[in-house]
Structure 1
């Protein structure tokens, strides 16, 4: 039975209402929200609970209960926050001033994992610290994390310059010597072929 329903507009969605305290119980799926006004509690029936409260459905009545998590604006349950007050970041139901290690800030939350930058250039191809003289070597590159995570690196097999510049010079000298000897031999052979009496 509605008591003093006409006394207040607040009584409209109520199942039971009081002139001094507003709604005492609600119709259907509405939530009873009690807000303190000085020494008194004033009840109202709402579709969803306001900021700082979460809804609990019961057999006899649905109620709005206050969030207990610190710096929380909206919560799913007493201690599990879903939205933090301004200046705080949400991580696993808690509101923090700064994101913990291994996470990075993204909009209003702390995200697990690493926020990594682009890959750097590949290093020169080396084999035991040497950049030439072998067929295969290895090279690496890294990318830096903008959060608290360690930098990532990767390496790969690479083809090296088989001959070093000093070897080339030595080989070129050897090559010139060989060419001279060949030229001398071929010159001797032609002179022998042109000796008088051979024609």
Structure 2
């Protein structure tokens, strides 16, 4: 009705600007002359007819007519689908975009919301300020959800778990089958803990070229350098790199200064050590011989004592032998 009224006003204005309005309004003339300000060749996509002042007046098939408000003025726009906050309705005359209910941010039709505005929570296509019994509000989803998520054993609300079900790992109030990137499972605490990667310090200076603990008296040796571990890794963290390196080297001075004197002193010490060793062995041998001699003397004394005891027993036995009657008569 509004579009028809706009068209009628434009026709009247056109007739006031030109004489012979009756002639121009004849059916035959309308077939060849378009109304001022109205064009059948619109530049707006989707428009079938349009106006310079009011935008699209009618849309091509399958397009929706949407009125956009610019201040106190409304402009017609033809769209493939209605914008958020509107839903499309089709009719044989034209397709239009109709505004959703005030509590709906988007909707499928006037009775079914798909997303709610702030302060409202979606449940079965309705936007409500309070959720039904047994459900709690989810501020992130803007929906009424179960009190605890399915993976929670216990929870503070629909988004914060305090204990996960068996086999799940907890992280920031959520339960995970597999820990996110940069985290690793802790089977003892059943939590996702942050991975710790190995950290090492700077390399030390290369050591002097040496061989068997000496820095001279040879041609080829080795140099080494090390670095300290500043942070040991967690079980799934990045392992430590090498903390020591060895490379071959050539010694600058192949002959050690004072080498002959050192050898003489070494030989002197060896001779003294041999002498000391021989003296100690001699002492041990003499001590061993004395012990053996003492043992022999002790054994001889024991044998002499035993012989004396035996003779004494024999002597006593002979003196105490009884006298026969014949011997007494002879006497």
TM-score, scaled to structure 2? 0.31
Larger proportion of helix: 2
CA radius of gyration, larger in: 2
Larger proportion of strand: 1
Structure scoring higher RCO (CA < 8 A, sep ≥ 6) equals 1
TM-score, scaled to structure 1? 0.50
